[in-house]
Chain A
Amino acid sequence: GNSVTQMEGPVTLSEEAFLTINCTYTATGYPSLFWYVQYPGEGLQLLLKATKADDKGSNKGFEATYRKETTSFHLEKGSVQVSDSAVYFCALKDGTSYGKLTFGQGTILTVHP
């Protein structure tokens, strides 16, 4: 079956540091890939997505590239802010299972001033 593996957390950074959160996946066919963000006590918000190999999703300074050869979709940001502190989830949706998103376990990011 499908699965998503995220790097172990939590991740603690100083403001303006470079961020990478690793995400690898196992899926049949050609899934769509997503990064969602969850701020404390809230639901999830879509951060970015990519629907085919070599696509780059980007939003709010975050970006991730769909790498089929390494089955990866790593999240990066060049300079994090305190307001980026949240839980980040990598997820995939394949073409065979209706609507279902398969999530990674989430990575807690804390950014200190």
Chain B
Amino acid sequence: DGGITQSPKYLFRKEGQNVTLSCEQNLNHDAMYWYRQDPGQGLRLIYYSQIVNDFQKGDIAEGYSVSREKKESFPLTVTSAQKNPTAFYLCASSIEGTGSYEQYFGPGTRLTVT
């Protein structure tokens, strides 16, 4: 079955450590996205990628970094510069970013930093 996988489901880190969240898709989609979800708020876009080796900042990119070396993979690194990293992180993909194509979401990773 095609879909998006994110791992791990739960992640715990100490303050000051960088941490990388995995996102893999086998849908052959060109576009991939990272969103952050906080309680009582909608999703906010961190980074997106239209194609391999290209990515763009979203609304809240500070303290995060990404790479897109393969079409299937779009890992997100939460750096120690991110002031409030504890959140639920969702990865998504779509056929492409233009038009009204549906975005498919992964199951999410809940990151807790103490």
Contacts and interface: CB of A to CB of B under 8 A. Distances in A.
Interface string A26-50: 0000001010100001111110010
Interface residues of A, number: 24
Nearest to B58: A100
Determine chain A's interface SS by DSSP, over half rule: strand
A25 interface: no
A99 B94 contact: yes
Interface in B77-100: 90, 92, 94, 96-98, 100
A105 B42 contact: yes
B102 A43 contact: no
A45 B43 contact: no
Interface of A: 4, 32, 34, 36, 41-46, 49, 51, 89, 91, 93, 98-106
5 contacts: A43-B4, A44-B105, A45-B105, A99-B50, A101-B45
Q: 8 tightest CB-CB pairs across the interface, nearest first?
A: A99-B97, A103-B42, A43-B105, A32-B100, A98-B97, A44-B105, A51-B100, A103-B43
